[in-house]
Amino acid sequence: MNVILLGPPGAGKGKQAGWLRTELGMRHLASGDLLRRHRADGTDLGREAAAYMSAGKLVPDELVVAVVLAEIAADLRDDSCSTASLALWLKQTASRRRFVRTTSS
């Protein structure tokens, strides 16, 4: 099972993700945490994100999606997806809704 929590800031995505992680043992992926880790690790995606983050700009959805997909792909390569990947999107946008619709069909 894969779950993607979508909603505006303050909607309770983090609270629900915590419950899912605790009660169902699901993996929690928070896009902001992933972006900061990629930046700290100096990955290509992290360096690209850092340019936006340092300028105080929002990281484009395409880059956020690439970071989340890279994490899920790493889980699949490691075969560490014995539990589902839970993606927590910190900010809901129209392009992310389109992405979810096109990949879930």
Per-residue model confidence as pLDDT tens digits over 51-103: 999 999 999 988 988 898 888 777 767 665 543 444 444 345 556 656 555 55
How many residues belong to the chain? 105
pLDDT for 101 equals: 57
What's 3-104's CATH class? alpha beta
Q: What is the pLDDT of residues 27-58, one digit of tens each?
A: 777 888 899 999 999 999 999 999 999 999 99
d(CA 36, CA 27): 18
Confidence grade of residue 24 (pLDDT, cut at 50, 70, 90): confident
Q: Which of 28, 26, 102 minimizes the C-alpha distance to 62? A: 102
pLDDT for 56 equals: 93
Token digits of residue 67: 């970071």
User: Does residue 86 sit in helix, strand or coil?
Assistant: strand
pLDDT for 93 equals: 57
CA distance from start to end of the chain: 15
pLDDT for 86 equals: 45
Helices 61-78 & 94-104, crossing angle to 10 degrees? 40
- Show the CA angle centred on residue 75, arms to residues 63 and 68, nearest 5°: 15
pLDDT for 3 equals: 79
